Structure 1
């Protein structure tokens, strides 16, 4: 069981951060806009500011900071398990020190300045509810959570960047994945009203704290909900729709002004259970990943058939919004990138990445054609998908890289696995045997049905059970580290110690300037 108080900071005195920039990243130009952000609202199918001017939000999610994920920072499994394992190995005080420092370095003034220099204008802040709520003391909202979010909101405001507050995890988990940090492959949030009530309580507290703040573009109440309960029309999402209506009323009673950014059901892809009447001052959000940008599928070659499929995928997801004349926000999308290590050579990695950038450009052109706001996933990580990534020669990567390699070879992180050939001999006979015990008509009964039988099994066996075991191996790498050593490891995530994925960032800069 998780040690629930491990998200609480003991308020260590924090060493000063020097403001110097790596030759890799270069010096940071002035922010892209000198105009201060103004409160946004919905006007028909547009997002507009106080003057009625259309605003297209273009940005990135800073996942891995206030909601950690295994492929972003390198651990295995779920964040609360990772924290508990680190606390057992390091002791609670030094473990908390390390996580506090990692969060501090992960997104700073330097990061916001660089981001703004690209002409982008919005940062999505994924938030783990445990920063605000203790499962053993559920009625109390922790003030430490506001301090963490305030720091990012304020540093973004300094550079005239909007922020969107994204509740990425809720008690019990709103979806079946690792990034809801439930530790399960079942979304228990939909099965207990008291868990749903707690999420409403948190949003009431956030609304009270951020009401009137023009630098907050709005609130993203749930990331990628996946509610299996069917509405009267036979489509999944009945309890999600009811919860959204409750959440909207609760927020509006406190903060009538901020926009809501509402994800569709089944990982922000399905609006078929949504009602005829839309919520007021609300943007509806899709996530638009294309499998053409991942190593487990056919690769993007720019063919007419592929471009048509990309367009059709987008059209299907935004059909509800078009029919209701409301704005669209693409809250997550983006390919992943190869390295010489996993592609075999620098030349092969470059060839793969050229195709991934080609896919990104095609998607951005589709969004521009429809005036869709977007937030790419991801701003920073250890080298798989981020605009900025930790230097492979940094102390942190030198320490954990062998573990990351082993974790990938074992196929433990769905998002970070390049291929599964290394464990095929273990899992293929096992899964085949299990599949044969389930009669064929019932193999596709389990929700979400977009996953086949094999995928459901590997989520439970690899990404929950085996990843939790592997997490102890990572924690042992930190045993005996002093605070000075832990600070050095955490500082590997500081902007000055990171590298930029220049081809990706240049593509985003061109799009922001309308030159793509």
Structure 2
């Protein structure tokens, strides 16, 4: 083992034989667009297709290339370094590297952007974790998982899994000597996995493929149920492997809960993962944590995030907040309100993001209508999975009836400037969250209760 690679040992991450806590942020919605974060309904594929249809293929490609470049630059890294963090998680959509119509062909477009950011990681000495955030067919039914139908189709088709095994082999071969990479987050948030055998077969094969190319980097494994349930694995505890779980504290449940009771309940949930660490000897990384808090609950939300980070620190669990930058959803920074993107987002938001028009509200109304029509009861477990099919229908409808008409009303000469809104110099941030992060990285004194 090369000594300059972060390693796993006795349930902790180590570097040069000393424990290292990974503390940082995810760069969400950079190479994997999430509609609620960029404020455009749809999926990465359908949003890109809408731009191509309205503005032409070449203009659309230039638009998203500019978006990827402006979203994360050296100015962002100067800011990230000032936070005192030592790691960033880099989520990506498989389509940046694999062509759907030519599944055996590896595209270089994604590597161009990934290499640029990894160079910045090297320059500013911030580790990177590469995260396959979406897969063909979708490893989960949500729109950020890569699927288009609201079904976890990745687990139903072995040929789709073989494509991602091949992609990871290529990634491992390319980056095997990159010491600034802490590891590979093999698959983000599997959920509603329909075949346990297929799940374990995929992990066995993808780990083998990566290890044939790369013996150095840590492999991060995420469980079922949005990276919370690891009982789906038939075995755990392999060489240079770590557990990655996602921990959102559930703001609707805990905001009004008495402080000591809330913290006790959160600690009880964390105990599941610390027990797994004890059983397997695998380090723990909370790959996503944070919250989506409306302005009227921002302070309570910050206290809830603090509760979680306190627990992670107490239990020596590494963490990355979701997320660094977006259009005003969960990001630490966002474009200023007077930027082109935010004005564009407001135009769409009034049409699709109102509470009475939320995806969950509409799904609930549809289920109730069906129960009245057919005189049967749709069980909660069925609702939970079926609602994503409704979400996929709404994404498709919104693309045709909201996004495309809005795009057609904006001349290309104006639209092509919109990605500049995400340049760091055009962004603003939540100082309270920034100060909170700094208190854990040692840049600022620890915040008082």
Q: Structure 1 length normalisation: TM-score?
A: 0.81
- How far off is 1:456 after superposition? 3.8
**DSSP 3-state at the match of 1:172:** coil
Q: Quote the Cα distance in structure 1 between the aligned partners of 2:135 and 2:191.
A: 12
CA distances 1:355-380 after superposition (whole Å, capped 9, x unpaired): 00110111001000111011110100
Counterpart position of 2:20: 55
Unaligned runs of 5+ in 2: none
- How far off is 1:354 after superposition? 0.9
Which of the numbers 335, 356, 360 marks the counterpart of 1:390?
335
- How far off is 1:269 after superposition? 0.4
**DSSP 3-state at the match of 1:127:** strand
Q: Quote the Cα distance in structure 2 between the aligned partners of 1:487 and 1:82.
A: 15
2:216 aligned with 1:243, yes or no? no
2:426 aligned with 1:515, yes or no? no
2:104 aligned with 1:175, yes or no? no
Which of the numbers 235, 256, 271 marks the counterpart of 2:230?
271
**DSSP 3-state at the match of 2:19:** coil
- How far off is 1:244 after superposition? 1.0
User: Once structures 1 and 2 are overlaid, which stretch shifts more, 430-439 or 55-64?
Assistant: 430-439
Q: Quote the Cα distance in structure 2 between the aligned partners of 1:438 and 1:61.
A: 46
Structure-to-structure mapping, 1:408-419, within 5 angstroms:
408-409=353-354
Distance 1:176 1:428, change over 3 A: closer
8 Å CA contact retained: 1:57, 1:373: yes
Distance 1:274 1:428, change over 3 A: closer
Counterpart position of 1:488: 417
- How far off is 1:444 after superposition? 4.8
Unaligned runs of 5+ in 1: 1-36, 231-236, 340-348, 447-452
Which of the numbers 157, 161, 174 marks the counterpart of 1:209?
174
Counterpart position of 1:469: 397
Which of the numbers 411, 433, 440 marks the counterpart of 1:504?
433
Q: Quote the Cα distance in structure 1 between the aligned partners of 2:191 and 2:346.
A: 33
Distance 1:284 1:438, change over 3 A: farther
Distance 1:318 1:439, change over 3 A: farther
2:322 aligned with 1:366, yes or no? no
2:215 aligned with 1:256, yes or no? yes
8 Å CA contact retained: 1:58, 1:121: yes
Counterpart position of 2:291: 335
Aligned length: 441
**DSSP 3-state at the match of 1:306:** helix
Q: Quote the Cα distance in structure 2 between the aligned partners of 1:94 and 1:54.
A: 48
8 Å CA contact retained: 1:78, 1:179: yes
**DSSP 3-state at the match of 1:330:** strand
Q: Quote the Cα distance in structure 2 between the aligned partners of 1:157 and 1:336.
A: 31
Counterpart position of 2:103: 138
Distance 1:183 1:305, change over 3 A: same
Counterpart position of 2:60: 95
Q: Quote the Cα distance in structure 1 between the aligned partners of 2:340 and 2:152.
A: 37
Structure number with higher helix proportion = 2
2:366 aligned with 1:430, yes or no? yes
Q: Quote the Cα distance in structure 2 between the aligned partners of 1:484 and 1:53.
A: 54
Q: Quote the Cα distance in structure 1 between the aligned partners of 2:270 and 2:375.
A: 34
8 Å CA contact retained: 1:77, 1:413: no
Which of the numbers 241, 256, 266 marks the counterpart of 1:282?
241
CA distances 1:345-400 after superposition (whole Å, capped 9, x unpaired): xxxx2xx1110011011100100011101111010011121111111111111123
8 Å CA contact retained: 1:301, 1:355: no
Q: Quote the Cα distance in structure 2 between the aligned partners of 1:80 and 1:141.
A: 18
- How far off is 1:318 after superposition? 4.0
8 Å CA contact retained: 1:302, 1:358: no
Counterpart position of 1:85: 50
8 Å CA contact retained: 1:287, 1:332: yes
Q: Quote the Cα distance in structure 1 between the aligned partners of 2:223 and 2:371.
A: 31
- How far off is 1:242 after superposition? 2.1
Distance 1:300 1:205, change over 3 A: farther
Counterpart position of 1:16: none
**DSSP 3-state at the match of 2:397:** helix
